[in-house]
Structure 1
Amino acid sequence: MRDIILSFLESFKQLSYLGIVLALSCEIIPAEVVLPLAGFWVYEGNMIFWIAVFSGVVGGTIGPLILYFIGRFGGRPFILKYGKYLFIGEKQIKNAEVFFQKYGGGVAFVGRFIPGMRTLIPVPCGIAKMNVWVFTLYTVLAMLPITVLYVWLGQRFGPRWEEAVPFARYFLLNNVLILIVIVLFTLGVKHVVKNLTTS
Structure 2
Amino acid sequence: MEEFILSIIENFKELSYLGIMLALTIEFVPAELVLPLAGFWVFEGDMTLWGTVLAGTIGGTFGPLTLYAVGRFGGRPFLLKFGKFVFINEEKLAKADTFFERNGAMVAFTARFLPGVRTLISIPCGMAKMNVWVFSIYTFLAMFPITFIYVYLGFKLGERWKDVAELANSYILPIGVGVLVIFLLYKFLSIRRKKLINKNIAN
TM-score (norm 1): 0.95
Question: What's 1:32 paired with?
Answer: 32
**Deviation at 1:173?**
1.9
1:61 aligns with 2:51: no
Summarize deviations over 1:61-87 as a string: whole Å, max 9, x none.
001111111101111111111212221
Structure 2 unaligned residues grouped into runs of 5+: none
- Counterpart CA distance in 2 for 1:39 and 1:67 is 26
Aligned pairs (5 A) from 1:1-199: 1-198=1-198, 199=201
Corresponding residue pairs, total: 199
- Counterpart CA distance in 1 for 2:191 and 2:140 is 24
- Counterpart CA distance in 2 for 1:134 and 1:197 is 27
- Counterpart CA distance in 2 for 1:196 and 1:26 is 47
- Counterpart CA distance in 2 for 1:177 and 1:61 is 21
Summarize deviations over 1:158-183 as a string: whole Å, max 9, x none.
01111111110122123322111011
Compare 50-59 and 181-190 and name the one that shifted more.
Answer: 181-190
- Counterpart CA distance in 1 for 2:177 and 2:147 is 19
**Deviation at 1:197?**
4.2
- Counterpart CA distance in 2 for 1:86 and 1:195 is 45
- Counterpart CA distance in 1 for 2:90 and 2:70 is 15
- Counterpart CA distance in 2 for 1:77 and 1:105 is 23
Give % identity: 53
- Counterpart CA distance in 1 for 2:85 and 2:57 is 24
Structure 1 unaligned residues grouped into runs of 5+: none
Summarize deviations over 1:136-191 as a string: whole Å, max 9, x none.
11101100100111110000000111111111012212332211101111222233
The question of whether the paired residues in 1 share the 8 Å contact of 2:112 and 2:142 is answered with: yes
Q: Which amino acid aligns with 1:90?
A: E
**Deviation at 1:129?**
1.1
Q: How much is the aligned-residue C-alpha RMSD, in angstroms? A: 1.3
Which structure has the bigger radius of gyration? 2
